[in-house]
Amino acid sequence: MVTPVPGLILIGGGKLTTYRVMAKDAVDAAEPILRDLTGSSVRECITDRVPLAGAQGFETRTNQRVMLSRKTGIPVGRIDHLLGRYGGLVDEVLDLVRARPELAEPLPGADDYLCAEVVYAVTHEGARHLDDVLTRRTRISIETFDRGVSAAEPSARLMAEALGWDDARTADEVDHYLRRVEAERQSQLKMTDQEADETRVSAPEIVQTP
């Protein structure tokens, strides 16, 4: 973290386990600047006491994993997977399954995931593009041997139903994701970081709005 000019704080790098510490450092660095500008201090940071989404109810639902399996018909191993991804929010995913039992089926091309997880990414997490679901809302792009290629079309069909996409839009989303994967593969054959970066971003972005 650096402050190149007064009032500008730059922070870079970091991973999931350090984002909160980094955010606290940035706020702490901004506090004297704000104090000088406004004459009042910033309240003490409480990030270490604010639970992450899904933290509340996680232990309770983990103790009830067998009961959840019996009620939903989903194997315990898959319940464990859902708990690991959604924590106490697992009930929101299971509510989708109760309303539409077919969503309890494994996602074709990514058997460790349920179809419900793609729909949940749209209905509860704000996903609007296929690559968002496969690369960020889930870990399908890094957990499957083909980087989610086989799961792309089934996932797009589930999203199309939830978002009202027509066939052309659905095909565009799949095509964009496949181009993105191919660009990543080609980037790994390059000799320099610059060449790899240029290749990686060569796939055109989806520009349609919902």
Beta-carbon contacts of residue 109 (< 8 Å; ≥ 6 apart)? 144, 146, 148, 149, 150, 151, 152, 154, 155
Length of the chain: 210
Q: How many domains does the chain have?
A: 3
| Residue 153 resides in a domain | yes
Beta-carbon contacts of residue 6 (< 8 Å; ≥ 6 apart)? 33
Q: Are 109 and 33 found together in one domain? A: no
> Among 75-79, 91-95, 182-186, 190-194, which is the least confidently predicted range?
190-194
| Residue 26 resides in a domain | yes
> Among 47-51, 106-110, 142-146, which is the least confidently predicted range?
47-51
> Among 1-5, 23-27, 107-111, 203-207, which is the least confidently predicted range?
203-207
How much is the pLDDT for 165? 97
| Residue 96 resides in a domain | no
Average pLDDT score, the chain: 90
| Residue 100 resides in a domain | no
Any bridge partners for residue 19, and if so which? none
| Residue 78 resides in a domain | yes
Please tell me whether the overall predicted TM-score, pTM, comes out greater than 0.75 for this model. yes
Phi and psi (nearest 5°) for 36? -65, -35
Q: Are 72 and 152 found together in one domain? A: no
Last residue of a domain, one of 65, 90, 115: 90
| Residue 97 resides in a domain | no
Q: Are 194 and 119 found together in one domain? A: yes
Q: Are 39 and 117 found together in one domain? A: no
Domain holding 66, by residue range, is 53-90
How much is the pLDDT for 48? 79
Grouping H, G, I as helix, E, B as strand and the rest as coil, residue 35 is helix
Other C-beta atoms closer than 10 Å to the C-beta of 80 total 14
How far apart (Å, rounded) are the C-alpha atoms in residues 50 and 31? Answer: 20
Last residue of a domain, one of 35, 66, 90: 90
By the 8 A CB rule, do 47 and 28 touch?
no
Start-to-end CA span in the chain (Å): 36
In this predicted structure, the answer to whether residue 23 has a pLDDT above a threshold of 90 is no
Q: Are 70 and 133 found together in one domain? A: no
How much is the pLDDT for 210? 47
Give Cα separations from 51 to 80, 96, 200 (angstroms). 20, 24, 35
Q: Are 109 and 196 found together in one domain? A: yes
Q: Return the structure tokens found at 62.
A: 């983990």
| Residue 207 resides in a domain | no
How much is the pLDDT for 209? 52
| Residue 206 resides in a domain | no
Percentage above 90 pLDDT, the chain? 60
For Cα atoms 64, 67, 69, give the angle at the middle one, nearest 5 degrees.
110
CATH of the domain at 171: 1.10.8
Q: Return the structure tokens found at 94.
A: 């299971």
Q: Are 124 and 179 found together in one domain? A: yes
